[in-house]
Amino acid sequence: MAKEIFMPKLSSTMETGTLLQWFKEEGDSVEIGEPLFEIMTDKINIEVESYDEGILLKKYFGEDDQVPVNHVIGYIGIEGEDVPQEAPGVSGAETEEAAPAENPEPQLVAAGSAETAITDEKPRATPAARHLARTEGIELRDVQGSGPNGRVHKKDVTAHAESSPVEAKATPLARKVAAGEGVDLSAVQGSGANGKVVKQDVISAKRTTAPVAGTSARKKMSGMRKVIAERMVQSKQTAPHVTMTSEIDMTKVKELRASLLPVVEKQTGFRLSYTEILMKATAAALARHPEINVSLEGDEIVQHGHVHLGLAVAVADGLMVPVIKDVLAKGLAELTQDAKEISRRARENKLLPDQMKGSTFTISNVGMYAVDMFTPVINQPESAILGVGRMQDKPVAVNGALEIRPMMTLSLSFDHRVIDGAPAAAFLTELKDVLENPYELLV
Amino acid sequence: MTTTIAEKTREITYLEAVREAMSQEMRQNSDVFILGEDIGVYGGAFGVTRGMIEEFGPERVRNTPISEAAISGAAVGAALTGMRPILELQFSDFITIAMDQMVNQAAKTRYMFGGKGKVPMVLRTPAGSGTGAAAQHSQSLEAWMAHIPGLKVVQPSTAYDVKGLLKAAMDDDNPVVFYEHKLLYRTSGHVPEEQYSIPLGKADVKREGTDVTIVATAIMVHKALEAAAELEKEGISVEVIDPRTIVPLDEETIIESVKKTGRLIVVHEAVKRGGIGGEIASMIAESEAFDYLDAPIKRLGGLAVPIPYNPTLEKAAIPQVPDIIAAVRETVKNK
Amino acid sequence: MVTKLNLPTSITDEKLKDLYKEMWLIRYFDEKVDQFFAKGLIHGTTHLCVGQEASAAGSIAVLESRDKIVSTHRGHGHCISKEGDVNKMMAELFGRETGYCKGKGGSMHIADVEKGNLGANGIVGGGIPLAVGAALTSKMRNEDYVVLCFFGDGASNEGSFHESVNLAAIWDLPVVFICENNQYGMSGPVKDMTRVEHIADRAKAYGIPGEIVDGCDMIDIMNSVDNAVRRAREGGGPTLIEMKTYRWKGHSKSDAKKYRTREEENEWRAKDGIKRFKEALITSGVLTEEEAKALQEEANREIEEAVRFAEASPEPSIDTLEEDVYA
């Protein structure tokens, strides 16, 4: 009997999903785990993979159709099998035990795909395989293990390296920049140790690989691009943006980071970056200025009792804002771990729906580029966003003398419907004070 | 394989090699003597000292009462005052009765005296199962001794090794526990006639290979070699390392081998739990060889049972050639 | 009236004066150690031989310098009598680098192999087989030394005692077994722990002479041990000598001595070996009261000096921790 393809429910609030595209045509054969179609929800767009194998027998909906969750959108089965001519509605309706509408668990797994389930765990691998993967810059979770329970052996890593020579060695920052710039890392000549690609390599590559004048390309907007476009317009059209800037002396933050770097690295294995210190300071400032930590819902202003920070992350051909919850309660080590982990998942397109919602304020950091300041667009339903420019040594007057200090410009965009200029200015001043005396975070 | 080809070698047994090593030393060093139970005209429980009392007389081949505490302590006292005694215990199981003297006296004297005095003695004793002697006469307790700082522990596997290692043990200024395997006494090999010394702490690669390293001790060296020959037919290349002395342990040779093969199996007859295999496996896990491991380390050792009397049960209690073959196949499965 | 003392010929008047001072050295040493433990200035544990000075000083007095001793956990007296250096001993108890064992042995392992002291021993009965082995060396190499093997009443119930005495007996080894019966093995009274009346009775079981000596009488001790040593040196084999004695202090530093009475302690104090030796020396005209006082004070000064030496000595370097495990 033919198997139903249905609209998965990806969050507890999701009621309908928009079908963005099909990856298969009727009559195509489908493997288990193969991407079948892409949908967009209110929070996320995601590729849905097939639970079954066989022939795609029927598609009831096309692009941009909105389909209620759990409704059948197609069938997979054996060639020639009979399927209903019209969409039959709720999945499992013809069986006696209709699937309850509120049953998010299996769909979540479905949405994340079988691969997600595996990659949540640390990959099993022999020390030799780990060593080789480390020196070759290969992600072990990408390697198919031939040993018991999928244990990766050295030969598996070797085979993987040979089968995917395009897998380039690169620093995390280079990957990030490459993703943001749409640069293919495998085409970049690395100048780091063992040919590792560093940020500068990506930037140079970007210059040299810029499209030759005269040739234009045209491509259809991806699902994510559509979501970004829609949300940007929504924000700019509904929220009167005001942006204030302030220049921060980062001397002490620099010291703090230098002294905590080894501590955090020892605890978490990750390097503490300025982003985490900025998050910590922002959360502290928001706690003191709760009127900034608000959302407009209908005609009500909701002041949040927690600080969940969105972190704008550049991904291949787009932007995502994963959320780090309860920042006030977390120390720098935990924040570092959370931020690195969630950014990685974002870049690998492996964020869970829950990791993309509930933020009360967002930070957008473009400090790795030669950008001094910018006017960020509010990530609704939040009412304010902090833009972070690069840190640069500048001459400043300190107590009447000229000194060279690491300076950084923060831009605060806020929704003037709900936040007035004075409280916004007070918040930005508070944040500046915290960053210039970061040790007060300890008090 | 050790490649010292002596001018005059002939094939003699392991047992004869032990006797020859002692006799040659006693002929040239009057401080060396042997004491033990029934080592006189009887020739020792396994006949190792047969003929020695006739050559050296009862003063230097001292037949003792059944008093392991006293004779081991007397050996320590004699060593501390300038002699170089060789103590023979009839069965290594009886070391339990000599334990205070070996562990609390021999091993610690020099250290607790602040570096004064030395205890140059050798405790020779037959170990291992396979003779139907059952639970109190078949044990392999070398790991107990290896745990004690101040003692050295030797486990020779061939006639050639036993002669050279015994010479080194007799020359050593520390208490050395020298385990002879009962079933190896009758095995033979080419042994040079003249004296030679094999340094304590130098492992011997008994067979070279590339796929897996087997570290085996005493009689397990032979079982590992038999397994290796069998596995060669399947295209599996096994390296067999005989540490020869477990204290000091030649870590470097084992580490280098594991770096080459990426796989390690440790085989000993002693009960696996708390055995020296755990020490070797841990040593590898802590070493630079760790990053070369491409399969879990395996330990083969005796089951946690007293050695039974029935021959079938007795064999089943310790690793045999098919067990080693199976372990190797499992280990190289993902080669 | 001067009574000539009945003594072994090797014991001169000078030697007698030295012995008197030596007994005070032993007593002052252990009293001082007791004090330092009480003040917490010395750590670990220690076993004091106050009251047993005579068995150590008297037994070792008749030895030649080449002869050897094997001592016990209650061994400070044996060590001092066997040409021990109280500075090095005190430094060892303080755990200092200048101590006999470089601070690694402590009270129970003081040894001086070159001087023929094969060491105190922390294991009850542990030293007895060693003494037999040392005697075996003497015999095999014709080194003509005798080994005095000290142990307590408690050790005479260890297997090592029985095995060792038997072994020495069958091989006619030059060893003298000296049981310092101080009446208690820790808290166990000898009469509860042993069925024979005298430990010396056990000699019969091994076919060797057994002798009972008043362990607080220097003259008796010297004569008895001298006989046994001579016999051993001449190839006559071992002797078991039991010294009836008493430790005035507890077993070790934390002993409430609940197993014995004040009356019993006072009876034994009255038999004090030092006091009786002094009387004998004065009566025989070897020593005057003034000379005796001067020797006692000299001993006291030497122990005070030993304390100063120990306190001024450096702690061992941590770098020495792994030294001397192997020769």
- pLDDT means over runs of 10, chain A (443 residues): 81 78 88 81 74 86 85 88 84 49 38 39 86 88 87 91 67 73 75 72 71 70 82 91 94 91 86 91 94 90 93 83 91 90 82 85 90 92 94 90 93 95 94 91 79
DSSP state of A90: B
Closest CA to B73 of A327, C163, A418: C163
Taking CB atoms and an 8 Å cutoff, what residues of chain B touch C112?
116
- Judged by CB atoms within 8 Å, which residues 165-184 of C form the interface with B? 166-167, 170-171
Residues from A in contact with B at Cβ < 8 Å: 126-131, 146-147, 151, 153-155
List the single residue in B290, B334, B335 with the smallest CB-CB distance to A127. Answer: B290
List the single residue in B65, B69, B76 with the smallest CB-CB distance to C170. Answer: B65
Distance from CA of B254 to the nearest CA of A (A): 17
Q: Can you tell me the distance from the alpha carbon of C6 to that of C20, in angstroms, rounded to the nearest whole number?
A: 17
Question: Who contacts C192 (Cβ-Cβ below 8 Å, separation ≥6)?
Answer: none
Opening angle at CA A266, ends A262 and A272, nearest 5: 55
What pLDDT is attached to residue C72?
Answer: 97
Helices and strands counted in chain C (H then E): 11, 7
3-state SS class at B6: coil
Token pair 């070897």 is at which residue?
Answer: C286
B190 classed as catalytic: no
- Pairing assessment for the beta strands B264-271 and B212-216 based on DSSP bridges: parallel
Q: Retrieve residue B73's tokens.
A: 């302590």
Distances (CA, A) of C42 to B153, C120, C197, C299: 37, 18, 38, 21
Burial class for B160, CB neighbours closer than 10 Å (0-12, 13-18, 19+): buried
Distances (CA, A) of C204 to A222, C128, C242: 107, 18, 13
Q: Can you tell me the distance from the alpha carbon of A90 to that of B99, in angstroms, rounded to the nearest whole number?
A: 80
Taking CB atoms and an 8 Å cutoff, what residues of chain B touch A129?
294
Taking CB atoms and an 8 Å cutoff, what residues of chain B touch C114?
116
Amino acid present at A84: P
Q: Which domains does chain A have, with CATH numbers?
A: 3-118 (2.40.50.100), 124-208 (4.10.320.10), 224-442 (3.30.559.10)
Distance from CA of B238 to the nearest CA of A (A): 19
Contact indicator for B293, A126 with CB cutoff of 8 Å: yes
Q: Does chain B reach chain C with at least 3 CB pairs under 8 Å?
A: yes
Q: Which domains does chain B have, with CATH numbers?
A: 9-192 (3.40.50.970), 204-332 (3.40.50.920)
Q: Does chain A reach chain C with at least 3 CB pairs under 8 Å?
A: no
Contact state of B293 with A147 under an 8 Å Cβ cutoff: no
Give the residues across from B64 on adjacent strands: B37
Where is A112: in which H helix or E strand? helix A104-119
Quote ipTM for the complex: 0.89
Confidence of residue B2 (pLDDT cuts 50, 70, 90): low
Closest CA to B90 of B28, B30, B56, B133: B133
Contact indicator for B254, B203 with CB cutoff of 8 Å: yes
How long a stretch of residues is chain B?
A: 335
Return the minimum-mean-pLDDT range out of A227-236, B39-48, B119-128. Answer: A227-236
Q: Is the peptide bond before A104 cis (omega within 30 degrees of 0)?
A: no
- B237-250 pLDDT per residue, tens: 999 999 999 999 99
Contact state of A127 with B295 under an 8 Å Cβ cutoff: no
What pLDDT is attached to residue A107?
Answer: 35
Average pLDDT over residues B116-133: 96
Contact state of A126 with B291 under an 8 Å Cβ cutoff: no
Distances (CA, A) of A381 to A239, A244, A250: 10, 20, 31
Q: Retrieve residue A202's tokens.
A: 């990506």
Residue C164, chain B, CB below 8 Å: the answer is yes
Average pLDDT over residues B258-280: 97
Q: Retrieve residue C145's tokens.
A: 């030394």
What pLDDT is attached to residue C38?
Answer: 82
Contact state of A126 with B294 under an 8 Å Cβ cutoff: yes
DSSP string, B113-158: TTS------EEEEEE-S-SS--TTSS---HHHHHTSTT-EEE---S
Return the minimum-mean-pLDDT range out of A203-212, B186-195, B310-319. Answer: A203-212
List the single residue in B72, B114, B119 with the smallest CB-CB distance to C129. Answer: B72
Residue ranges of alpha helices (H) inside A295-443 are: 332-347, 421-436
Taking CB atoms and an 8 Å cutoff, what residues of chain A touch B213?
none
Q: Can you tell me the distance from the alpha carbon of C115 to that of C145, in angstroms, rounded to the nearest whole number?
A: 12
Domain C13-313 has CATH 3.40.50.970: yes
Give the residues across from A216 on adjacent strands: none
Token pair 């030059």 is at which residue?
Answer: C174
What pLDDT is attached to residue C263?
Answer: 92
Contact state of B73 with C128 under an 8 Å Cβ cutoff: yes
Contact indicator for A252, A439 with CB cutoff of 8 Å: yes
Give the residues across from A411 on adjacent strands: A245, A387
- pLDDT, averaged per 10 consecutive residues of chain C (327 residues), comes to 81 97 97 88 89 98 98 97 97 96 94 95 96 98 97 96 98 98 93 95 98 97 98 97 95 82 93 96 96 97 97 95 95
Domain boundaries defined on chain C? 13-313
Q: Can you tell me the distance from the alpha carbon of C208 to that of C179, in angstroms, rounded to the nearest whole number?
A: 14
Q: Can you tell me the distance from the alpha carbon of C171 to that of C232, in angstroms, rounded to the nearest whole number?
A: 11
What pLDDT is attached to residue A183?
Answer: 76
Residues from B in contact with A at Cβ < 8 Å: 262, 290-296, 333-335
Distance from CA of C105 to the nearest CA of B (A): 4
Confidence of residue B7 (pLDDT cuts 50, 70, 90): low
Neighbours of C325 (CB within 10 A): 15
Token pair 């005001």 is at which residue?
Answer: A242
Contact state of B294 with A154 under an 8 Å Cβ cutoff: yes
